[in-house]
Amino acid sequence: MVGRLAAVIGSPVAHSLSPAIHRAGFAAAGVDWSYVAFEVADGQAGAALDAMRTLGIAGLSVTMPHKAAVAERVDRLDPAARALRSVNTVSWDGEHLVGSSTDGAGFVASLDDAGVEVDGARVAVIGAGGAARSLVDALARAGAIDITVLNRTAERAESAAALAPVASPGGVGDLSGADIVVNATSVGMGDDRHVPCDPALLREGQVVADLVYHPIRTRWLAAACERGCRTVDGLGMLVHQAALQQRIWLGDDAVIDTVAMRAAAEAVLTARA
């Protein structure tokens, strides 16, 4: 593979860690691929896909606000993207554009990387937005036996839970029975000092994960650690979903170095801090 280009599209996209992560991954894989960020305004996802076809761009990462619009415009969807009606990855299959969703699978991979087994686990997911929905779908595919969705709006919790037979809406009282508890909201991001729920509801021995990665060590994870929980930070999901994107673009024989990809992301976050 020589001189290929991949890119991330979104708005805003200047803050994205994807260029640093993917460039490190491509370098580790020893392929001549470049990766850039394109600011694409809301409503212009179709034009971005047209440009991909015209310019021969080898792969796209898709972030907000384009995930649903891209799902409507590609030629084919993978099973997760079809269930979610959301795409974060675009690749080529011959002359056809294929939309995939690696977000949820990336989270499952981050748990596996941390030595956390999903198969047979009971999971509580806090939140019911796009990220939470991707988790419900992927956790069920990975063998979770019970998934409880907690959200302030009952209808949204019910909608997210409808993605998997083992999922159902619930309340904070269900947290203590979970093996894995995940914050799939933006609560705690940046300077936000709030936590998604009262840490007193957690119990010793649980795995507590946070999808927020800025800061990497959120107040939620710190509080969970004080409760005797094992913690998994949100940067793992970001890195592993990118690694799965590279697997799609480069093929099964490619070397995918998640250690190098994470180090690149951490370096950017440190520089910004």
Q: Is the pLDDT of residue 85 over 50?
A: yes
Q: Based on the fold, state whether residues 118 and 150 are members of the same structural domain.
A: yes
Q: Is the pLDDT of residue 146 over 70?
A: yes
Q: Is the pLDDT of residue 1 over 50?
A: no
Total tally of structural domains belonging to the chain: 2
- The pLDDT, as a whole number, for residue 154 is 95
Domain that holds residue 35: 4-101+236-272
- The pLDDT, as a whole number, for residue 270 is 94
Q: Is the pLDDT of residue 121 over 80?
A: yes
Q: Based on the fold, state whether residues 225 and 111 are members of the same structural domain.
A: yes
pLDDT in tens, 251-269: 999 999 999 999 999 999 9
- The pLDDT, as a whole number, for residue 269 is 95
Q: Based on the fold, state whether residues 167 and 268 are members of the same structural domain.
A: no
67 is catalytic: yes
Q: Based on the fold, state whether residues 75 and 195 are members of the same structural domain.
A: no
Of 217, 243, 7, 259, which is closest to residue 105 (Cα–Cα)? 243
For residue 12, say if its preceding peptide bond is cis, omega within 30 degrees of 0: yes
- The pLDDT, as a whole number, for residue 2 is 57
What CATH number did the domain enclosing 14 receive?
Answer: 3.40.50.10860
**Is there a contact between 169 and 161 (Cβ–Cβ < 8 Å)?**
yes
What CATH number did the domain enclosing 169 receive?
Answer: 3.40.50.720
- The pLDDT, as a whole number, for residue 173 is 85
Query: Which of the residues 66, 67, 133, 262 is marked catalytic?
Result: 67
Q: DSSP characters for 73-121?
A: HSSEE-HHHHHHT--SEEEEETTEEEEE--HHHHHHHHHHHTT---TT-
- Rounded to an integer, the average pLDDT of 109-135 is 98
- Rounded to an integer, the average pLDDT of 122-126 is 98
- In this prediction, residue 273 has a pLDDT band, given cuts at 50, 70 and 90, of confident
Q: Is the pLDDT of residue 183 over 50?
A: yes
Q: Is the pLDDT of residue 207 over 90?
A: yes
Name the helix (H) or strand (E) containing 241: helix 235-250
Average model confidence (pLDDT) for the chain?
96
